[in-house]
Amino acid sequence: MKEIYIHVGVPKTGTSAIQCFIDNHPDVMERYSIGYPSFDIEYESASSRRNGYLLAHYLDDSEIKEKCLEGIKNCLETHEKVILTDEGIFYRMYKSPKLVKKIHEALSPLGATLKIIIYLRRQDDFVYSFWSEQAKEKAAPKFEKYLGSFDKKRINYEHNLKQMEDVFGKENMIVKIYDRNLFKNNNILSDFMDIFGGELTEEEINGDPRVNVTLKDVCLEAKRRLNKGYDDFKGASNFSVKLLRDIQNEMAEEGKLFDRPFFEAKDRKKFMEYYEKSNAAVAREYFGKNEGEELFAPVSDKEVDPENLKPFSEDEINDVYMRMILKLHDRNEDQKLRMQTQKEKIQELNKMKKPTATYAFLKKISRKLGR
């Protein structure tokens, strides 16, 4: 029986890394007869690697829907399994409760068994990671304000899983914990491919560059402030992100990166109290755990260095901006030098193209001899 695997996230559980790996390694996918259909559609706010994006956003667009379903059907003809992946599906389910049923209705006529893959991340880690991404890309508020307005129901996993179970059936639910210590080979890619009985070589695991650049501490705060003040700095692929990553590495080597906990342990524990009952239910229903056994590893009680609790000073923020200016200056000087070198090479080539007197004389004789 052919199978369609719908990888729904959760966001911030390595979905970008998984999508990038699948897209970059068609040879690995073919090895295990896994199809990864591409629909030649440019989405305004999503990478084309998110081939399940249509399930979250375009099921009501008959033209796009039919084109994608045809692509999935063709892919099933040559592969035993097909993967559709998009982390937005999980988030959209909360806003659109009927989405799960619509996805099932759209894919069922293809005649394949429909399976759900979902990774669950401890909710406090999720909300902090999600805010960090927002702070890196957009005009995000301070973390305290963001946390105060965050809708906790969005990541009530018991409710989310029940929605999917009612439509797809529990037997077709592959529910995993997003925790490096629990991954096969301590790696999300190995863990994901293990679902399909796939084995990866070390080169395949470590060959791809990191997809998302992680900013933290004062570099993240500096980027957040830039985003709030200037649209030109927004976006995950903005030039400032890689610039700040380099500065972050330098500061870490200099011992000037304190890695302040925007989300302290006491606040994390309080936040997690909301999910205590629902997480316990998920632990029992999907992982066969006994009463009292935790779904996730507990929040760390590790003491935080008082130095790491100091608020950001304007001098620290300005130091990051000064480093950015100096790095841009150095890059501009390097670019000038490369342009000058290129200009000189072009001039040399142009000189070589001009016929010399000797060349003209020899050409004249050659013509006479040829007569």
- The whole-chain average pLDDT of the chain stands at 91
* pLDDT computed for residue 360 by the predictor: 65
The domain limits of the chain are 3-216+259-267, 217-258+313-371
Amino acid making up residue 18:
I
Q: Which residue has tokens 């005009």?
A: 139
Amino acid making up residue 239:
F
CA distance 127 to 145: 12
Q: DSSP letter string over 73-96?
A: HHHHHH-SEEEEE-THHHHHHHH-
Per-residue pLDDT of the chain (371 residues; tens, 9 = 90+): 899 999 999 999 999 999 999 999 999 999 999 999 998 887 777 788 899 999 999 999 999 999 999 999 999 999 999 999 999 999 899 888 899 999 999 999 999 999 999 999 999 999 999 999 999 999 999 999 999 999 999 999 999 999 999 999 999 999 999 999 999 999 999 999 999 999 999 999 887 766 678 899 999 999 999 999 999 999 888 999 999 999 999 999 998 888 788 898 899 999 999 999 999 999 999 999 999 899 999 998 877 777 677 789 999 999 999 999 999 999 999 999 999 998 888 888 777 665 666 656 666 666 666 65
* pLDDT computed for residue 310 by the predictor: 79
* pLDDT computed for residue 356 by the predictor: 61
Give 85's strand partners. 7
C-alpha distances (whole Å) from 118 to each of 38, 48, 130, 227, 262 are: 21, 20, 17, 32, 27
Q: Which CATH number fits domain 3-216+259-267: 3.40.50, 2.60.40, 1.10.3470, 3.30.1330?
A: 3.40.50
Model confidence over 317-352: pLDDT tens digits?
A: 999 999 999 999 999 999 999 999 988 888 887 776
Q: For the chain, where are the alpha helices, taking DSSP H only?
A: 15-24, 26-31, 53-57, 62-78, 88-95, 99-107, 123-137, 143-149, 157-168, 188-194, 202-206, 217-229, 239-254, 265-272, 276-287, 314-353, 357-369
Amino acid making up residue 182:
L
* pLDDT computed for residue 111 by the predictor: 96
On whether the CB atoms of residues 164 and 115 are closer than 8 A, the answer is no
* pLDDT computed for residue 368 by the predictor: 64
Burial of 234 (0-12, 13-18, 19+ CB in 10 A): middle
* pLDDT computed for residue 276 by the predictor: 97
On whether the CB atoms of residues 94 and 132 are closer than 8 A, the answer is no
